[in-house]
Amino acid sequence: MSQYTLVHGDILYSDTSDTLACYPDSWMVIRSGLIEAVEPVKPDIEGAKVRDYGHQLILPVFSDLHFHSVQYAMRGLGRDKELLPWLQTYTFKEEACFANIEYAERVFKQLLNELWTEGSFNLCTFSSLHLEATLLLMDMYEANEFRAYVGKVNMDSNDPILVEDTEASFEDTKRWIEESRALKYTKPIITPRFAPSCTPKLLANLGRLVEEQQLPVQTHLNENHGEIELVAELFPDYDNYYDVYRKNGLTPEGKTVMAHCIHNTKPELEAMKEDKVLIAHCPASNVNLSSGIMPLRDMIDQGFLIALGSDIGGGDRLFIGHAIVDAIRSANILSIVHEGKVAPVTFPEAYYLATAGGGSFFGKTGTFKPGYSADYIVVDDSCWPATNRYDLSERLEQFIYAGSGDRITERCMRGNLIAKPYSSL
Ligand code: GUN
Ligand code: FE
């Protein structure tokens, strides 16, 4: 039997970080789950399976590089608070509920259904500090063929409700890594919640583990002024916030995701560039918690690796289209405030962050170049009155601004169609 699948439709993906490749009425050639080519004429391959989507859009799956799977149930709460009181009032109480595995399963089922609906399949996410809930979450992502980095959160200081013993946090982390080793698509990522949640001893132990086992790391950085002051108080011997992670071995080159990165100093930016840190820009959360506006234009121009994060529950919407729009709007606001002296960010640039930019952290996914994993969504926008007058890039823009997962008719990972995870819910 042929290993080939031919996929027909209006195909579109990021060609470069600021241009789109548009292939109307074209064919994607998939062999053993990988893309061989996208071309305008149907290739003549005997025995190939055909999936014909007519004039629907075929797009890369979305990448969400920063969100908290365990904050799904508290989305939208506490928008009158800044980060530290928000964590104390809502977040830690909600996350404490994940000691109950039945509750965890109930939340995760709904979350996975919504991620599937919204077309987000490349994920980098925080769990809670609980070992059992984290392993369950990983099993569920794996069973439904998401590509996910999942972190058991480490936090052994500065909260009376949600806190681990230093030794227990480290021992649980080692056990978690051991127990998740067999998974194929879902991988562990070391996750100190943020510097203020961790003792120096725990940070140093985690750093050694990262080095020994060549593990990736995710955490928060420079999100909020109160947070940054707290880090300076708690870690007076370090040069800056980023230095706390770096000196403890928690910034492995090319394998580190730092969320937010709004209020960075020059030495921090230089170090992050050197370490090839991926910055997870979370525009909705940054405004919801009055954290600030990340200078996206400037960061792109400086050549940083950047992706988008929904940051559920600091953010409120899982559809990454919202993150694209919020990133563009935030950049527009900065441009307005600076009376045009700061340029805005274009649609193709923001779309790139949400697909190919985020995908780059996982390997070859997020665009449709030869050798990339055949990870796509299919979008039917024919119900909208004027789509037949628009070209592909305009239809994409309209889907991102005015659409949602309701317009997605099919999801495919590694060449295989993906069914709704929990259809009985
Ligand atoms: N910093 C430490 N923990 C969190 C969290 O849960 N959400 C956000 N947005 N920032 C954090
Ligand atoms: Fe976060």
Average pLDDT estimate for 65-90: 96
Query: Which single residue is written with the structure tokens 């830690």?
Result: 92
Average pLDDT estimate for 314-333: 98
Domain-embedded: residue 281: yes
Domain-embedded: residue 192: yes
Question: Beta-carbon neighbour count of residue 19 at 10 Å?
Answer: 13
CB 377 within 8 A of CB 11: no
Let me know whether 202 and 102 are in one domain.
Answer: yes
Is the pLDDT score of 82 beyond 60? Answer: yes
Let me know whether 311 and 374 are in one domain.
Answer: no
pLDDT at 424 (0 to 100): 87
Kindly give, in sequence order, each residue whose CB lies less than 8 Å from that of residue 2, ignoring residues fewer than 6 positions away. 45, 46, 47, 48, 49
SS3 content of the chain, % helix, strand, coil (to 5): 40, 25, 35
Domain count, the chain: 2
Number of the ligand 1 atom closest to the C-alpha atom of 194: 2
CATH of the domain at 394: 2.30.40.10
Let me know whether 76 and 121 are in one domain.
Answer: yes
Kindly give, in sequence order, each residue whose CB lies less than 8 Å from that of residue 240, ignoring residues fewer than 6 positions away. 265, 267, 268
Give the percent of the chain with pLDDT over 70: 100
Query: Which single residue is written with the structure tokens 């994409």?
Result: 396
CB 413 within 8 A of CB 373: yes
Let me know whether 72 and 152 are in one domain.
Answer: yes
Let me know whether 268 and 355 are in one domain.
Answer: yes
Mutate to test the pocket of ligand 1, among 90, 156, 194, 262 (most ligand atoms within 8 A of CB): 194
* Alpha carbons 234 and 383: distance in angstroms, whole number: 56
Let me know whether 25 and 125 are in one domain.
Answer: no
Domain-embedded: residue 105: yes
Q: How confident is the model at residue 112 (pLDDT cuts 50, 70, 90)?
A: very high
Average pLDDT estimate for 309-318: 97
Domain-embedded: residue 423: no
Ligand nearest to the CA of 78: 1
* Alpha carbons 162 and 184: distance in angstroms, whole number: 31
Amino acid 132 reads E
CB 59 within 8 A of CB 400: no
pLDDT at 301 (0 to 100): 98
> Ligand 2 centre from 165 Cα, in Å?
22
Domain-embedded: residue 218: yes
Average pLDDT estimate for 240-262: 98
Cis peptide before 207 (omega within 30 of 0): no
pLDDT at 160 (0 to 100): 85
Average pLDDT estimate for 19-41: 98
pLDDT at 92 (0 to 100): 96
> Ligand 2 centre from 10 Cα, in Å?
35
Domain-embedded: residue 260: yes
Number of the ligand 1 atom closest to the C-alpha atom of 223: 10
Final residue in a domain of this structure, among 362, 387, 402: 362
> Ligand 1 centre from 3 Cα, in Å?
45
Let me know whether 141 and 290 are in one domain.
Answer: yes
Is the pLDDT score of 2 beyond 80? Answer: no
* Alpha carbons 169 and 206: distance in angstroms, whole number: 10
Q: How confident is the model at residue 158 (pLDDT cuts 50, 70, 90)?
A: confident
Average pLDDT estimate for 151-174: 95
User: Measuring from atom 8 of ligand 1, which residue has the nearest CA?
Assistant: 314
* Alpha carbons 367 and 238: distance in angstroms, whole number: 39
- Which residues form the domain of 163? 62-362
Let me know whether 252 and 398 are in one domain.
Answer: no
> Ligand 1 centre from 333 Cα, in Å?
24
Closest by CA to 328, choosing from 291, 369, 284, is 284
Final residue in a domain of this structure, among 343, 362, 381: 362
CB 291 within 8 A of CB 83: yes
Closest by CA to 274, choosing from 244, 260, 255, 253, is 253
**Could you list which residues have their CB under 5 Å from ion ligand 2?**
311
Let me know whether 162 and 308 are in one domain.
Answer: yes
Domain-embedded: residue 75: yes
User: Measuring from atom 7 of ligand 1, which residue has the nearest CA?
Assistant: 314
Let me know whether 371 and 300 are in one domain.
Answer: no
User: Measuring from atom 3 of ligand 1, which residue has the nearest CA?
Assistant: 193
pLDDT mean across residues, the chain: 97
- Give me 185's structure tokens: 């698509």
CATH of the domain at 150: 3.20.20.140
Let me know whether 285 and 347 are in one domain.
Answer: yes
Ligand 1 pocket residue status of 145, Cβ below 6 Å = no
Average pLDDT estimate for 71-81: 95
* Alpha carbons 329 and 19: distance in angstroms, whole number: 19
Final residue in a domain of this structure, among 316, 341, 362: 362
* Alpha carbons 36 and 113: distance in angstroms, whole number: 30
* Alpha carbons 218 and 214: distance in angstroms, whole number: 14
Give the percent of the chain with pLDDT over 90: 98
Ligand 1 pocket residue status of 78, Cβ below 6 Å = no
pLDDT at 162 (0 to 100): 93
- Give me 112's structure tokens: 């996975």
- Of 59-73, 151-165, 356-370, the poorest mean pLDDT is in 151-165
pLDDT at 240 (0 to 100): 98
Q: Provide the CB-side half-sphere exposure for 77 (13 A, CA).
A: 16
> Ligand 2 centre from 383 Cα, in Å?
36
> Ligand 1 centre from 122 Cα, in Å?
20
Closest by CA to 191, choosing from 338, 81, 180, 183, is 180
Average pLDDT estimate for 115-121: 98
Let me know whether 280 and 331 are in one domain.
Answer: yes
Domain-embedded: residue 425: no
Is the pLDDT score of 93 beyond 60? Answer: yes
Q: How confident is the model at residue 1 (pLDDT cuts 50, 70, 90)?
A: low
> Ligand 1 centre from 307 Cα, in Å?
17
Q: Which region holds residue 346: left if phi is over 0, alpha if psi is between -120 and 50, else beta? A: beta
